[in-house]
Structure 1
Amino acid sequence: MKTPNVLLYKRMARQRGVGLIELMISIVIGLILVLLVSNYYLSSRQSYQTTIVSSEITDSQRYAVQLITRQLLLAGYSDYWFNQQTEFTSLPAKGSVPAFGAGQVVASNPGSDRIWIRFRPAALENQQIVACDNQIINEPIDTVVVMQLGVNTDQALFCKRIDTGGGSVPLLNGVDAMAFDFLDDSDAFQPAGAVADWSSVRAVRLNLILRSETATFDTPTQQVINWPGGNRVFNDRQMRARMTRVVALRNNLGGI
């Protein structure tokens, strides 16, 4: 008959602990699982953030295009005119505002991210013109309105009425770059410095680089964007998008 001590010894001999190799394998498997779950979470978070920011930039693009297009479509507008040369007479340069020749309704300086637009108010009360600063133009029809669109030092799109000396009104943040090309009698889009006859300009091409307000990437990420005159390189956490839009100047006598 076996003594209790012998039975206890055999029972203890059958109990085995976890060896070092087994412990290490368990830790590695656990780390792999944690890594997989973390990667999935980060990937899902990045995908969600990218979707949200893409929507933000799309909204900014839509707003910028609508606003600038609406203003460009006013270039050369007049209720009663028979000759664009007499309706829009020449103006000398003043400060940063370039000179306007007779019949010229848009202007820009070489290398500038700003554009100036001329038009006249509407005569009928139910055809009131709303300028880019959201103000109704209600002056007499013999008034020549001069509006300026550009990018300020805070990288915001702004609007300013020049003929009345109005102040600058910020419209949209996150504009990294803006440039204009002009379709003239050469039948090709030209930068401002290459336009020979501004009165012949019949279309404007808008180029924009918009930046998200919300940080998209977890770490600074390089983005290279093709741009007239050379690529633009950015290295931060914001997402960017470039857009191009051509606007025909429908009030130009020599229109397309």
Structure 2
Amino acid sequence: MSGPTFHRSRGIGLIELLIALALGLIISAAVMQVFLTSRTTYRMQEAMARVQENGRFAVGYMANDIRMAGYMGCGNLGSITVNDIIDPADVPAGFDFDISQEAVIEGHDAVAAVNGWGAKVGTDVIEIRRAASTGVTLTGNMSADNAQIHVTNNAPGFDAGDALFITDCTTADLFRATTVSNGGGSTINIAHANDLNIDNRLSKPYGEEAEVLAFEYSVFFVRNTGRTTPNGTAIPSLYVETMRAGSGATTEVQELIEGVEDMQLEYGVDTSGNRAANEYRPADEVADWSRVVSIRMNLLMRSTEENVAPASGEASQILTYNGSAVAADGFLRQVFSSVVTVRNRVP
């Protein structure tokens, strides 16, 4: 009976070693490819989520203001002609307080390089005028049409110089407050002297059922922020220039949301008198702004990061905006469209 036979290990041959190395490289490359693909997919998803979030915010914010164009409290411009006593000589340069039916909505189509807002060339601009959504009531009847207005509180934040409405649903006046002072307790006294107005007399002495509201102005436009991506590409944003209570009738420009690359607007015009839009036109084709009953918004949103989408090839983004193809350049884009009805011009 013979014992077990032992063989000396000869190690791994060169061929086996090369095969093992090749397999290791293949597996490493596959793992790296999966990682890079996952990272690219994550960046694209994150960028698109931001684009969609910004787009919804921009459309929603603008829609809220557009719906309220021409708002006059309990009355409306269709039944009330506002008595405007603001002195045009004291109005900020380049501005007016026109609250007529023709002026509460005003659009500017494909603005030129030189414009009053610094807006991007070729983008549209829209101006909205209205009364504030909330106001304050009078504490009692005015003793005369040139008497101070006594209101219950100053929750809206009125200040001297503000443009204000007073209305009782049948009559309305637009004036500038020359002083806003405490009348004892929560009562506020509002004067309307003729140093900011052409007259210190309103159209009538208002009663305690009247309401005082701030004049509000908004103009929306797209312009470059002055910031750039790491590769030096300008970052555009949606801006709004506003006049609100407490501003002393001065405007303030505010950046609303970044990534708005273009804005194109069309205006729904009532051509038949049925208070519904019969056709949509660009601003330069609207002859009578009092007939605009809705606005069609088209915003081109863009990711703030570059190289999140292929710039060429079959996987590149194919997008058409305002009748033209948008070149693929590594940014992600999406078009947001909405039709907004002007509430104060429809049944």
**TM-score for the superposition, normalised by structure 1:** 0.74
State how far apart, in whole Å, the 2-side matches of 1:78 and 1:120 are.
5
Number of aligned residues:
230
Matched residue, 2:10: 15
Matched residue, 1:111: 110
Root-mean-square deviation (CA), in Å? 3.5
Q: Deviations over 1:110-159 (max 9, x none)?
A: 21421001112457339xxxxxxxxx585421345432111123222111
Matched residue, 1:196: 287
State how far apart, in whole Å, the 1-side matches of 2:61 and 2:291 are.
24
Matched residue, 2:339: 246
Q: Where do 1:57-206 residues align within 5 Å?
A: 57-79=51-73, 80-81=75-76, 83=78, 86-87=81-82, 102-104=100-102, 105-112=104-111, 113-121=124-132, 124-125=135-136, 138=158, 139-141=163-165, 142-143=173-174, 144-154=215-225, 155-161=236-242, 164-186=249-271, 187-206=278-297
Q: Deviations over 1:56-112 (max 9, x none)?
A: 2222122212211111111010123463683499x9xx99889x7951221112214
State how far apart, in whole Å, the 2-side matches of 1:87 and 1:229 are.
41
Superposition deviation, residue 218 in structure 1: 7.5
Q: Deviations over 1:199-227 (max 9, x none)?
A: 11111011112222345628656544321
State how far apart, in whole Å, the 1-side matches of 2:216 and 2:342 are.
16
Are the equivalent residues in 1 in contact too, given 2:99–2:130 (CA < 8 A)? no
Which amino acid is 2:22 matched to? V
Helix, strand or coil for the counterpart of 1:147? strand
**TM-score for the superposition, normalised by structure 2:** 0.57
Q: Which runs of 4+ in 1 moved over 6 A?
A: 94-98
Are the equivalent residues in 2 in contact too, given 1:181–1:191 (CA < 8 A)? yes
Q: Deviations over 1:32-67 (max 9, x none)?
A: 111211111112222222232232222212221221
Higher helix share: 1
Superposition deviation, residue 240 in structure 1: 2.0
Q: Where do 1:215-254 residues align within 5 Å?
A: 215=306, 217=308, 220=311, 222-236=316-330, 238-252=331-345
Q: 1:235 to 1:137 in 2, by over 3 A?
A: farther
Matched residue, 1:130: none
Are the equivalent residues in 2 in contact too, given 1:118–1:145 (CA < 8 A)? yes
